[in-house]
Chains A and B, each alone.
Chain A
């Protein structure tokens, strides 16, 4: 299986999509904020964050902010909560949250809470437990959770719990590992994990491991490196990570590396992208792969960054 090709992955992240006329990279334009978060967090876990120009990135991030307080996916793009959380996380990585007008950003986020406690992603009103997580995670990082009705937010998330112990995007929607991460993460951040049936959910999550060692996101679906993050983070938050075969999962992730050009793909021999590179490295960090910074399963930021924010060190 070989080892984690650290140098190659660093090179890959730094050079992502320099190739011209690549349609896939054009498609990234509008979500560059998310791409930057995935790339930069990967570099930080690999201990190479100093290879980028922090001031330039911070200045670019701030140029993506709108009057409303929300952030767009790139300069000149409309704001959405999905890009706002990435902007906050990037600033957190660089210990630069203080450049923000915190009340402005947190007002933007808190205004997206609906009467039933759920969150919309933007002014058009799409509701999804992903947005609950994003709102709660961002506001916690900004020390402004008091701006929303946390009790109602928690109640809404619990209304999305299914009989298999998992969670979906809205009440009645199928359990899905990505949505479970969001719901468990939001409940962890708000100190509400007692609402989770940990043993039942833990079993559902560890059933996601398939013969190859990889994890899928729903029954009978193919394994995918990104679920190493969604499933494993959820298991860690509910204290059940030892219920999967960690060694087999490490091997699966390492098998998804492009050892020549760097980067990690969803499955062995597929094309790499920065998204799966981040989730692969983050998964390995959860699995205590040597040489990687530990990452916080709820905030999706390196533990030292989270400690700096909450404990001032």
Chain B
């Protein structure tokens, strides 16, 4: 967890002249701790000095350096970060410098809540000045971990608070080209399409996005994310979902391929339950997948749910329930 750079040159604080006037304060763990803690010596000493400056509320340069050392030992310590912010405020430190420090710490700890919280605090103070840098910073994190939840939240905040929407759709596209299963990138795409001030909103984007989603589905029909994205494009508009021929046609294409057709069946079932009238082709495609149940069942939705019970046994209860709620066929 620690960086090698800081370790090789590390001198115990008790041997540093600038700390000679400080009496370290050990952690009081209380009697017979439930979760006893073992401390490594160097870290323990650093924390003892930290406690001393913290208790003395010493907002000095050396205290700032000390918080950096403590953070490099353990980036998760909430109190150290909080005290660091108080010092930064008191010293009116250049906050661009502070971003450099966070860059460094984040290289090893990109899933740590404290870092993101701190970064956000700094970026908020810097305002639009920080926009490019923050977008680049999150990109760098995504090049290592494209689903980092903290980084995505941070990026969404940057876009909404500081701007930088221009390239975001293209960036989502690029991430999805790298990994079409990346649900975070799909979520971001939806975020951009529905919230970007530059694109005109979901209604304006629907046509082109449906095309994009359909293409993604046909590439990998087993991708939960692209199917959910397609459904999301018809938010609050189930009627146009049911009536859009592109939707039934992507279902048909996947079903006739007879491969990875689980989500296609699921969506077809949704459509049928909402009154969709299937073509003969679709009926035939479903029948061709039906090895088990009675082929003469005139209710296609029932047939679909019973196929799903067989091909997705882990969720058999869900599909059984779906089958039980299929509306009765009109006579």
Contact = CB atoms under 8 A, between A and B. Distances in A.
A225 interface: no
Nearest to A172: B191
Contact of B27 (A18, A29, A202): A29
A163 interface: yes
A248 B315 CA distance: 11
Contact of A26 (B31, B37, B83, B188): B37
Interface stretch (A2-10, A50-58, A110-118, A296-304): A50-58
Given A76-B27, A170-B156, A248 B35 contact: no
Nearest to B231: A163
The A contact surface, by secondary structure, is: loop
Interface string B65-81: 00000000110111100
Interface string B297-331: 00000000000000001111110010000000000
Contacts of B224: 207, 219-220
A287 to B, nearest CB: 15
Interface in A252-307: 274
Interface in A97-127: 121-122, 124-126
Contact of A163 (B33, B181, B232): B232
Contact of B152 (A28, A162, A173): A173
A30 B34 contact: no
Interface stretch (A132-140, A142-150, A184-192, A238-246): A238-246
B147 A77 contact: no
B183 interface: yes
A310 interface: no
Central interface residue in B37, B184, B231, by most chain A CB within 10 Å: B37
**A-B residue pairs, 8 tightest by C-beta:** A60-B30, A163-B232, A174-B187, A35-B35, A243-B318, A219-B183, A78-B79, A30-B77
Contact of A22 (B38, B183, B187): B38
Nearest to A83: B78
B117 A124 contact: yes
A173 B153 contact: yes
A141 interface: no
Contacts of A121: 117
Contact of A36 (B27, B34, B316): B34
A126 B73 CA distance: 23
A218 B183 CA distance: 8
Interface stretch (A67-75, A151-159, A226-234): A67-75
B183 A220 contact: yes
B248 to A, nearest CB: 20
B183 A57 contact: no
Interface string A29-50: 1111001100110000000000
A122 B82 contact: yes
A164 B186 CA distance: 12
B228 interface: yes
A23 B42 CA distance: 11
Contacts of B83: 78
A16 interface: yes
A202 B314 CA distance: 14
A80 B78 CA distance: 9
Nearest to B25: A76
B142 interface: no
Given A63-B30, A176-B149, A30 B78 contact: yes
27 contacts: A16-B35, A22-B38, A22-B40, A30-B76, A30-B79, A31-B76, A32-B29, A32-B35, A35-B34, A36-B35, A59-B31, A76-B28, A77-B79, A124-B82, A124-B121, A162-B232, A163-B228, A164-B232, A169-B149, A172-B191, A174-B149, A202-B318, A218-B183, A219-B225, A243-B317, A243-B321, A248-B314
Give the interface size bracket for A toward B: 35 or more
Contacts of B195: 172
B134 to A, nearest CB: 16
B235 interface: yes
Contacts of A52: 34
A202 B325 CA distance: 15
Contacts of B30: 56, 59-60, 63, 75
Contact of A274 (B35, B82, B117, B191): B35
A101 to B, nearest CB: 20
Contact of B153 (A16, A27, A56, A169): A169
A219 B40 contact: no
Given A27-B76, A29-B77, A17 B38 contact: yes
B318 A206 contact: yes
A76 B51 contact: yes
Contacts of A78: 78-79, 82-83
